Amino acid sequence: MRKSPWVLLMFVLIGGLLGGILGEILHVMAPQGTIQSIFSTHFTPGINPPLTIDLVLFTLVLGFSIKINILSIIGMFIGIYLYKHV
């Protein structure tokens, strides 16, 4: 059975989303200390500030940012694993 790359993308996105949500929950619920500092560590690649093009008739704003933490990366790898074994 041939698997679609779109299905892989969905598995990776859903895994990253669930991992990110779990990381935010653990960041709030974990006591102060090492565990909270691990889960609160994230990086945000993207375009900051967004690119703005003013064309008099309308203004076009282009930009994105992604907040990635450790659990979102682990969730992406779990999504890839599940894709390969399901």
Q: Which residue has the higher pLDDT, 2 or 76?
A: 76
Select from 35, 10, 9 the least CA-distant residue to 22: 35
**pLDDT one-digit tens code per residue, 29-77:** 878 888 778 777 888 888 888 899 999 899 999 998 888 989 999 999 9
The DSSP annotation for the chain comes to -PPPHHHHHHHHHHHHHHHHHHHHHHHHHSPTTHHHHHHH-EE--B-SSPEEEE-SS-EEEE--B--EEHHHHHHHHHHHHHHHH-
Count of structural domains within the chain: 1
The pLDDT assigned to 35 comes to 76
pTM attached to this predicted model: 0.78
The pLDDT assigned to 9 comes to 94
In which domain, by residue range, is 41 found? 5-85
